[in-house]
Structure 1
């Protein structure tokens, strides 16, 4: 059932949200869990200040999808960043999906499209794919480091789906190794990629012994939280990763985890083994700029990209001192 079909006759906001929204011209949400350390609202605040807009992205730390679907019908709502655990769950509730969103099977961006009769359509996009692509393109001067070589994705959720799509469509990966603590996640990803005609590029790596026999990747995208491995499956995933990182030919690794800190144990391990490590805040910047193109209607050249990068760099410096 789409949002249009669910629309009620009236909208009642919680009082604390109502008072906050009243002072804004437009508002959006960051919808997900464990959002306290997210830099997304900071990034978008820099953009809106740079454009002279009285807009704000409000954190909505919640698993209540019905509440979210009610809140976004407010007339001042401009769009939302969708994060875990909602990137896949939001899809059935949207009126339209972009090509990338549909092909990845995950949404990180909700934007609006106005119809001639005044109705608003709630549309889903996936800018994570742009963030992942541009993290490599903007930070690795020599594309032969990753092009025409295998790649690896660690994890099996929405971000992993985006990574597989970006590696396949733009970064010219010959094969894509996927590893996860949950085999059912990988099975679902492979099935979806088969439906979209590039499942034959996916190789499910299940053991460290299997990893030993594989050609080393040029690009790795890690899409898992920064927690020490505890279960047997998590420990095997770490062993597989260690085997790959120690292969003779190195490459670049994008560590998508930046919350609460982008300086992760896996990133440190990769760096110690001679890999170029790209912080997850790079993906945050480029996917966030792409989001604001949807929300503001401006082109990248019209957005304050330099100020965004400077602000995120300052926040990273503060984090590194803690």
Structure 2
């Protein structure tokens, strides 16, 4: 397993942090950023460190813990900058600052990957946005569930209503063969927003807002579930109702596969344990992390998946998971 010495830059005391950052960048051939907040537990820099070491590249993804978009936009003008992972709270806020968006990024309305293209005719490089979260969700099912009939041609379900839920709806709709998609959240307004956005993109009619246990009991069992909520015990009435709806779906006679997107601080969640006890195939959220990260490195290095050290990445993430489970 590779051991990463990834630099973390927290912009609370900007001048000392920037001086340290510039000194560190001078030692690299290229650098990228993980831009967001609460980044300490993120496995993204570890994943990319394994890829770059496997390819013999003196590159590094640097944690940039900041809410300062203007600062980020200044830093990425550096000639050694290759791209960035963009996480909360910036996935939507970054979009107006980009020159081009991929189809997935545009349709989901959120960007988690910034990459560069030469500008025709010369000049500053084009800032381009992609959404590789959708690829991570797709590949989590494709790579881990050999029998596609377990989920394709059946309803699917998304638990939650945030950015990850939007990516899940897109992946289930476009690639995973869902006949319709149940959406349930602790907050009905979140689901309404998701349905409205998907309607604008011509697939809102395939979404079904599941609001009650009685409604859940009457629905056909989903084949694929993507859970996009934190691993906290339900406290509010909305959270308790969502858990009851989820339990109804998991206890239906026909089972399927569930991708538990939560992996921080651990991918071994209460919901995952409940699903496993009910006979579901559980896919850990670190699978989505791996495949979305590999897709990012395809943009940044120009290599195909077959040219990237995927096996080494899986080994490194598994070793980190073993450390987490011991803790």
Partner residue of 2:170 out of 155, 165, 170: 165
Cα offsets for 1:261-299 (capped at 9, x unmatched): 111111111111111100011111111010000001111
Count of equivalent residues: 311
Map of 1:281 onto structure 2:
286
Unpaired segments of 5 or more residues in structure 2? 1-14
Distance in 1 between residues matched to 2:70 and 2:161, nearest whole Å: 26
Distance in 2 between residues matched to 1:159 and 1:209, nearest whole Å: 26
- Residue 240 of structure 1 aligns to a residue whose secondary structure is helix
Map of 1:317 onto structure 2:
322
Distance in 2 between residues matched to 1:127 and 1:19, nearest whole Å: 31
Whether 1:124 aligns to 2:129 is yes
- Residue 158 of structure 2 aligns to a residue whose secondary structure is strand
Cα offsets for 1:150-190 (capped at 9, x unmatched): 00011111111111111011100001011112222211211
1:205: how far off?
0.9
Distance in 1 between residues matched to 2:166 and 2:93, nearest whole Å: 14
Whether 1:67 aligns to 2:66 is no
Whether 1:56 aligns to 2:60 is yes
Map of 2:187 onto structure 1:
182
1:55: how far off?
0.6
Map of 1:8 onto structure 2:
none
- Residue 14 of structure 1 aligns to a residue whose secondary structure is helix
Unpaired segments of 5 or more residues in structure 1? 1-11
- Where do residues 1-322 of structure 1 align in structure 2 (5 Å cutoff)? 14-115=18-119, 116-322=121-327
- Residue 135 of structure 2 aligns to a residue whose secondary structure is helix
Map of 1:7 onto structure 2:
none
TM-score normalised according to structure 2 size: 0.92
- Residue 129 of structure 2 aligns to a residue whose secondary structure is strand
1:118: how far off?
3.2
1:114: how far off?
1.3
Distance in 1 between residues matched to 2:52 and 2:102, nearest whole Å: 24
1:20: how far off?
1.7
Map of 2:12 onto structure 1:
none
